[in-house]
Amino acid sequence: MTPPVPTAARPLPKARDVLAPPLCDAQGRVMTYLRLSVTDRCNFRCAYCSPAHWGGTKDLLTPDELERFTRVFARMGLRRVRLTGGEPLLRPDIVDIARRVSRVPGVAHVAMTTNASRLALLASPLRDAGVSQLNVSLDTLDESTFRRISPRGELSDVLRGIDAAATAGFASQKLNVVVMKGVNDAEAPAIIRYAHQRGYTPRFIELMPFGRGEGVPTRTLIESIRQAGIALEPDDAPKEDTSGPARYLRAPTGRVGFVSPMTENFCGGCNRLRVSAKGELRSCLGGRSQVPLAQLVRGGASDEELAWAIRRALGEKQEGHRFNDPQATGALLSMMGIGG
């Protein structure tokens, strides 16, 4: 596949600068955050995430390739890497991958998003390998609701993993909750209490149109949490530079985050790039364009050639996602391959 052409408004840099920061997109936004999907396989198949039929990619990126991509992106100015999937902990070499990525010069933070099913075993090794920020997905504390959302998972494994990670010494721990109307929306107050008791910051995410289910607008959810007796006040603490698109409010027991891709478009501050499990660069979660970085590497491309391809793709990055446009969402790339 030929990489897309840059816009006239944003010409490519001179050859000698192609690996030098900043890495900007067509809108002038500077990219600093890389999300690497290390697998598109998953042991949970959550209703909102996975397609009904899913084979999985055969040629996943190797640890060498993941390290090489990280090195090239870090030379171009990306400072933060998140390992995601599918379920990243299904990879037997995940600790080695985390260690190699965290040692790349220029990488300041390595984060991971996981369903926690194997975290009881891996929390401490991952921490020792350099993962400092952990996001765990937990949509419900109720066994039967869990079965409805993630039919192949075991809630007890997830809860054990969450407890193990709580004592492993991560610098930041968050609980991601995808909110679905009539499924888990009423559990928000209980999940806030559960998370704060264990030192996690809960973050409620509006459902995006990748799978099944009906979402709840953040505004409605905040109102229902307040009606349940939990005061949510504006949060005066300075926003961490790693907090991404989440907006935070303060409950009596701690902070509560809200991520609102459907009702509060945050694309103006987008600083992120994604590499899918197949090794394709995706400049937007809600977009369709992709550049086959793995194919380029396997064909012998140099770091400079990769950097050109990356800059060309960024030259096409749109102003924002189009989740609210039914014609665009029909062709969205799968969430399991992109990694959220």
Binding residues for ligand SF4, rule: CB under 6 A, are 42, 44-46, 49-50, 85-87, 115, 137, 150, 336
If one asks whether residue 161 binds ligand SAM (CB under 6 A), the answer comes out as no
Nearer to ligand SF4, 19 or 60 (CB): 60
C-alpha 161 chain-centroid distance: 19
Burial 195-232 (b: 16+ CB within 10 A, else e): bbeeebbbbbbbbbbbbebebbebeebbebbeeeebeb
User: Which of 25, 87, 280, 316 lies at the binding interface for ligand SAM (CB under 6 A)?
Assistant: 87
The answer to whether 211 contacts ligand SAM (rule: CB under 6 A) is yes
Helix (H, G, I), strand (E, B) or coil at 272: strand
Rounded CA separation 12/117 (Å): 44
**Among ligand SAM, ligand SF4, none, residue 211 binds (CB under 5-8 Å by kind):** ligand SAM
**What DSSP assignment string belongs to 23-34?**
-B-TTSPBP-EE
Least separation, in Å, of the C-beta of 6 and ligand SAM?
30
Distance CA 110, CA 129 (A): 10
- Contact partner, 176, from ligand SF4, ligand SAM, none, Cβ < 5-8 Å per class: ligand SAM
CA 337 – CA 209 distance, rounded (Å): 15
Picked from ligand SF4, ligand SAM, none, the partner binding residue 66 (CB below 5 to 8 A depending on kind) is: none
Is 208 among the residues that bind ligand SAM (CB under 6 A)?
yes
Nearer to ligand SF4, 116 or 313 (CB): 116
Residue bearing tokens 């609210």: 324
Q: Which of 114, 140, 173, 218 binds ligand SAM (CB under 6 A)?
A: 114
Interface with ligand SAM in residues 8-47 (CB under 6 A): 42
Beta pairing, strands 291-292 & 280-282? antiparallel
Q: Does 115 interact with ligand SAM (rule: CB under 6 A)? A: yes
User: Tokens for 69?
Assistant: 């991509």
Which lies closer to ligand SAM via its Cβ, residue 91 or residue 311? 91
Distance CA 52, CA 59 (A): 21
